[in-house]
Amino acid sequence: MALIKDKDIPLTGIPSKPRVLGILPSPPPSVQETSDHDHPEKTRKSWQFVLALVSLCLIAFASSFDGSTINVALPRITHELNAADKYIWIANCFVLSQTVIQPPLAQLCNIFGRRSPVIAAVAIFALGSGIAGGSTTAGGLIAGRTIQGLGSGGILLLCELIICDMVPLRERGKYVGIVLSSIAVGSMVGPVVGGALVQVNWRWIFYLNLPISGVVLVVMIFCLPLRYTKEPTWGRALSRIDWTGNFIFIGSICAFLLGLVFGGEVFPWSSWRVILPIVIGAFGWAGFHLYEHSCKEPIVPSRLFGNRTSVAGFFMIFLSSMLVQWVNFFWPLYFLAVRGTSPLRAGINTLPYLAFLILGASVAGVLLTKFGVYHPMHLVGFCLSLIGPGLNLLLSESTSTAEWVVFQMVDAIGRALLFPTLLPAILASLAESDVATATGMYSFLRSFGFVWGFTIPGIIFNTAFDHNSPQISDVAVRKALANGHAYELATGPFINSLSPSLHEEVVGVYVKALKAVWEGAIAFGVLGLFAVFVEKHVPLRTELETQYGLQEKKAPEDREKGNCNMNAETTVEQRKESS
């Protein structure tokens, strides 16, 4: 006789469906005891599921495509709009609004479901695209880009949240990997297409989002029946919103990000105009978390950080996002400054990195679904993420193409093993009722990491360049490249216009500054390894337990068993009556 153990109950006390435990006859010796975690149930996905997944991938592609093309087009746009002095606002208003909206929006998704917020996010993104494309002043462009960022932040959050609602935790890595691959494709083709469009008409960079958004809106309005528990009145729904917490959170994060954006670009890091908003933002952020302890329905519940696995996962997504941005910013600089290529050629040379990132993320998601184990992938991912920047220390003007492609491959595979597997690891240690708030915090920390991913390496690069700049014999060139100008002047025409001896000196300083950047990436990668050892494996649930999700038609045999369809929007009382 064998006692059947409940292997699916996590050690963290996550509520799960009640099970009947008892005494059953022992299986034959040749049959091994297995749990449903070892063999996830394979079910055929409906056409509604496929259509929803394709639409999510399409709008995620559009969002990332827009974000990557603008970097190429900004010089031309600011010139035509006579907005050179507004460059910093045009470049960063999108990221700022994209970041602050995500945790508050996650709370709205718990109150109003997922369908209405995702439709609103796509519509807002389309509205911002239209305003930005038709703008004739810097103010109009900034307004359009800010609205775009609000929509993009909602899109990034809801793409993953809807996936979480449609498939069990065990399968989420695979489908999240598909959405992330769409985002990577958008980031990959964005600079190339943007470089071509800016030669014709930069406004089409924004206008291209309109037909894509239109198609996605039609699909989501008519073919995305997502259910949720509807409040009986609007007053009841609005009373659940944490208005004070939203105000504190958005205000403090905006202040903090403004300090980061202005530092080293508009004002020196020692300026009170940089220090003051960062200090206010930090204290406001701390005060926000203190306030959340007493809030009835908080935006960021403290229980999200109540176990070591979720804390380690949140920390790892922040680090991973920071480091992937770190790499994305400084690989092109190597080709521009050290190899003397054009911006277009530099973008093409980084395609191997993005290609391996896409392929690796897809494979990592499949492996997670098949084996249900994420801890080894996190360990290997951070190890490769250390080896990658370590190999980059060998980069020089004479590095062969095969060498730098291999260097990119190692780093990309390391990052790819992390991105589709971190969210399932975080959610494994939390209740299904916390999926929205946890995904909101995950998405926020990812965007927040992106901001730090160009701030910290930028400081390291500028400091290292200025430290080594005395090696440049020409005083005029040395002054032109000092105080943060080395990055913006790292173009092929400038570097190639120097005399051979001066060219060698300048390239040598760039190489040393880049080595400092890669060393910084290694240091932060080590922190990720520590987080992996803090993380504990929790089995991934194979059953979907949620009041949200895709409302699909049941098979005839299911209806015979008494299963009935619920409307896309239904109340708790109606659901009890129907059951």
**Which residues neighbour 359 within 8 Å (Cβ) at sequence distance 6 or greater?**
416
Condensed to tens digits (0 to 9), the pLDDT of residues 141-170 reads 999 999 999 999 999 898 888 888 888 888
Domain 308-548: which topology?
Growth Hormone; Chain: A; (1.20.1250)
Residue 317: how many other CB atoms lie within 10 Å: 25
**Which residues neighbour 510 within 8 Å (Cβ) at sequence distance 6 or greater?**
333, 337, 338, 465, 486, 490
Condensed to tens digits (0 to 9), the pLDDT of residues 299-311 reads 888 889 989 999 9
Condensed to tens digits (0 to 9), the pLDDT of residues 91-149 reads 788 888 989 999 999 988 888 888 889 999 999 999 999 999 999 888 899 999 999 99
Residue 414: how many other CB atoms lie within 10 Å: 27
Cβ(383)–Cβ(442) below 8 Å: no
**Spatial CA neighbour of 191 closest among 87, 356, 342:** 342
441 three-state secondary structure: helix
Q: State the Cα–Cα distance between residues 438 and 226, nearest whole angstrom.
A: 20
Q: State the Cα–Cα distance between residues 520 and 505, nearest whole angstrom.
A: 23
Amino acid at position 359, single letter: L
Cβ(158)–Cβ(109) below 8 Å: yes
pLDDT value of position 71: 66
pLDDT value of position 84: 66
CATH of range 47-228; options 3.50.50.60, 3.40.50.1220, 1.20.1250.20, 3.30.450.20: 1.20.1250.20
Q: Residue 457: enclosing H or E segment and its boundaries?
A: helix 435-468
**Spatial CA neighbour of 351 closest among 374, 323, 328:** 328
Residue 243 is encoded by which pair of tokens? 């208005």
Q: Where are the domains of the chain?
A: 47-228, 243-296, 308-548
Average pLDDT, the chain: 81
Domain 47-228 identical in fold to domain 308-548: yes
Question: At residue 253, what are phi and psi to the nearest 5 degrees?
Answer: -70, -40
Q: What is the CA radius of gyration of the chain?
A: 25
Q: Residue 23: enclosing H or E segment and its boundaries?
A: strand 23-24
For the chain, list residues with pLDDT below 50: 1-41, 555-579
Q: State the Cα–Cα distance between residues 7 and 363, nearest whole angstrom.
A: 27
pLDDT value of position 49: 83
Cβ(539)–Cβ(169) below 8 Å: no
**Spatial CA neighbour of 381 closest among 364, 396, 401:** 364
pLDDT value of position 293: 85
